[in-house]
Amino acid sequence: MKADKAPRPKILVLASGNGTNLQVLIEATRERDFPGQIIAVGCNRPQAFALERAARANIETFVVDHTRYDSREAFDGAMIAEIHRHNPDLLVLAGFMRILSPGFVHAFRGKILNIHPSLLPKYPGLNTHKRVLEAGDKVHGVSVHFITEELDGGPVIAQAEVNIAPDDTPETLARKVQEKEHILYPIVVRWFCEGRIQLGSDYVLFDGELLQEPTRLPDN
């Protein structure tokens, strides 16, 4: 008789917009050997195309519309309640454009991943492609990190580089960076679901060892 398989970790994805990262995660988790399953997708914007992508994949969705709340704490409280209802093992932020309150981060500490379009700690915040060009950098990229109370400041797990060409614009860079996002995020989500990465106080443990430097995928 076959031994029962351990249940696959439950992933809840939060998004605000187009949801291309959600799409690649839907496809990755559909693979038979993927060690996690997306159980719900939550959005703060009712028109987010990410909701449509989830519905097409028969994944449950919910909306907590931030415009209906007077404060970030009130919005986060409603979001926390929805998330608890699904009892996920992992929250994946995929273009979720709300800053989370310390209470939110605390409620799910060590269980929230984010993807940011720069090689953190360089360029936290918005407009990263424009800023990287203005600075004259030769290399740009994307980072996947644990969320902590510090905005875009949680410990970085992995990065992928993008070489900057002389004729790159913010638009061409955005495309190149997104291509890398779509490779990197499923890899890191897989690691989490396999139990290979954990958040320490302000560091990452990879296979139980302190991760000295984020894993880096070079551009080719």
Active site residues: 116
Helix then strand count (H, E) for the chain reads 6, 11
- Strand 37-43, strand 10-15: pairing: parallel
- Strand 139-146, strand 112-116: pairing: antiparallel
Which one, 49 or 62, has the nearer CB to ligand GRF? 49
How far is it, in rounded angstroms, from Cα 185 to Cα 205? 18
Q: Is residue 29 within 8 Å of 105, Cβ to Cβ?
A: no
Structure-token pair, residue 190: 């897989």
Q: Which residue in this structure is represented by tokens 């954990």? A: 198
What is the closest distance, in whole angstroms, from the C-beta atom of residue 20 to ligand GRF in the complex? 3
Instruction: Give the residue closest to ligand GRF by C-beta.
Output: 95
Our CA angle for 36, 191, 23, nearest 5°, is: 55
Which one, 116 or 190, has the nearer CB to ligand GRF? 116
Q: Is residue 15 within 8 Å of 52, Cβ to Cβ?
A: no
What is the closest distance, in whole angstroms, from the C-beta atom of residue 37 to ligand GRF in the complex? 19
Which one, 18 or 172, has the nearer CB to ligand GRF? 18
What is the closest distance, in whole angstroms, from the C-beta atom of residue 55 to ligand GRF in the complex? 16
How far is it, in rounded angstroms, from Cα 15 to Cα 133? 27
What is the closest distance, in whole angstroms, from the C-beta atom of residue 118 to ligand GRF in the complex? 9
Q: Is residue 162 within 8 Å of 176, Cβ to Cβ?
A: yes
What is the closest distance, in whole angstroms, from the C-beta atom of residue 44 to ligand GRF in the complex? 13
Q: Which residue in this structure is represented by tokens 């430097």? A: 213
Structure-token pair, residue 142: 């994307």
Residues contributing to the site for ligand GRF (CB under 6 A): 15, 17-22, 94-95, 115-117, 178, 181
Which one, 1 or 146, has the nearer CB to ligand GRF? 146
Which one, 49 or 69, has the nearer CB to ligand GRF? 49
Structure-token pair, residue 148: 């902590």
